[in-house]
């Protein structure tokens, strides 16, 4: 199936189309419907990636080149400022920027997930609403996977050899995917219901970026008595699930896994609640 590109004009206006677009009353749906929704989400994500990179010379390579070039430029400066060897700091910075980019992509693309799919939502009522945030997460996750492959190569170039602990990255990626899906759903519901929320969201993301050890070593916060910014920062623990196995060749510690599990449970519960509240109202918000 090759879906058409969504446009706002497809949906039309009026209570009649909104009423017809209401999904069925079953809260969960059948297995076949879920598989169909997953297939639609993947097809839409694939088309998004094709449209984004088809006209470029490097194509999907830009998904790797962009954070790599940024890490190279920033790393040369910050490695000197923090007194960290470039061979140690550059892989750390590149990996963190790749993970952070996935987080931001899920939030930002999730914010427009329902708005961009207005035509689908109003004309194809049998497609589950979660399909549209999932579409955005699929596309972002492909970019993340490519970035992690590049991060592993960069780490190898600077002397870090593959180990059995790299297998621990696989369950960590599962956590990241579910986390991205949950925040995309939350962002989509909030930004569709209240269009001004995107400005509050952007400010909050910017503040969280400076509170998270993305561009600086986590030890720097500990040295300045800011340990609590690590302890209560969910993004830090999620990043450590990937950084520790890939860069240190050790399994991520149990506290990081516990914190990540609590974070995932909390955002998932909020996402389920938000989607259920939005279910009968979403067509009227668009």
Question: Which comes out higher in pLDDT, residue 21 or 43?
Answer: 43
What average pLDDT does the segment 129-135 reach? 92
Q: How far apart are the first and last CA of the chain?
A: 25
| 228-242 confidence digits (pLDDT tens) | 989 999 999 999 999
- Name the token pair of 257: 């896994």
190: pLDDT strictly greater than 70: yes
- Name the token pair of 224: 């300045």
Question: Which comes out higher in pLDDT, residue 2 or 120?
Answer: 120
Instruction: Please report which confidence band the pLDDT of residue 55 belongs to, taking 50, 70 and 90 as the band edges.
Output: low
269: pLDDT strictly greater than 50: yes
CB 285 within 8 A of CB 192: yes
Q: Which of 122-131, 161-170, 212-221 has the lowest mean pLDDT?
A: 122-131
Question: Which comes out higher in pLDDT, residue 117 or 80?
Answer: 117
Instruction: Please report which confidence band the pLDDT of residue 129 belongs to, taking 50, 70 and 90 as the band edges.
Output: confident
Instruction: Please report which confidence band the pLDDT of residue 29 belongs to, taking 50, 70 and 90 as the band edges.
Output: low
Neighbours of 209 (CB within 10 A): 14
- Name the token pair of 205: 């993301």
What average pLDDT does the segment 130-142 reach? 93
Percent of the chain having pLDDT more than 90?
42
Percent of the chain having pLDDT more than 70?
87
**Alpha carbon distance 79, 62 (integer Å):** 24
Q: What are phi and psi of 195, to 5 degrees?
A: -65, -25
| 64-94 confidence digits (pLDDT tens) | 777 777 777 777 777 777 878 888 888 898 8
Neighbours of 239 (CB within 10 A): 26
Question: Which comes out higher in pLDDT, residue 151 or 14?
Answer: 151
The dihedral built from the CA positions of residue 209, 256, 248 and 220, taken in this order, carries a sign that is positive
Q: Which of 115-124, 176-185, 254-263 has the lowest mean pLDDT?
A: 115-124
153: pLDDT strictly greater than 60: yes
């Amino acid at each position: 199936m090759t879906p058409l590109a969504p446009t706002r004009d497809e949906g039309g206006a009026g209570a009649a189309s909104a009423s017809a677009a209401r999904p069925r009353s079953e809260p969960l749906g059948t297995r076949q419907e879920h598989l169909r929704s997953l297939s639609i989400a993947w097809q839409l994500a694939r088309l998004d990636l094709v449209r984004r990179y088809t006209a470029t010379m490097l194509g999907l390579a830009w998904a790797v080149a962009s954070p790599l070039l940024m890490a190279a430029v920033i790393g040369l400066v910050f490695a000197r400022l923090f007194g960290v060897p470039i061979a140690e700091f550059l892989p750390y910075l590149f990996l963190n920027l790749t993970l952070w980019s996935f987080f931001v992509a899920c939030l930002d693309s999730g914010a427009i997930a329902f708005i961009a799919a207005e035509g689908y939502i109003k004309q194809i009522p049998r497609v589950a609403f979660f399909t549209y945030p999932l579409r955005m997460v699929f596309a972002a996750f492909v970019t993340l996977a490519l970035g992690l492959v590049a991060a592993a190569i960069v780490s190898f170039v600077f002397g870090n050899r593959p180990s059995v602990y790299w297998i621990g990255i696989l369950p960590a990626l599962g956590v990241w995917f579910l986390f991205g899906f949950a925040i995309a759903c939350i962002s989509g519901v909030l930004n569709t219901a209240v269009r001004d929320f995107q400005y509050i969201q952007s400010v909050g993301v910017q503040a969280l970026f400076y509170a998270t050890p993305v561009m600086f070593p986590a030890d720097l916060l500990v040295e300045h008595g800011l340990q609590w910014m690590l302890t209560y920062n969910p993004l830090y623990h999620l990043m450590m699930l990937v950084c520790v196995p890939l860069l240190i060749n050790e399994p991520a510690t149990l506290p990081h896994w516990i914190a990540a599990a609590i974070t995932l449970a909390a955002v998932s519960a909020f996402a389920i609640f938000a989607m259920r509240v939005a279910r009968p109202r979403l067509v009227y918000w668009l």
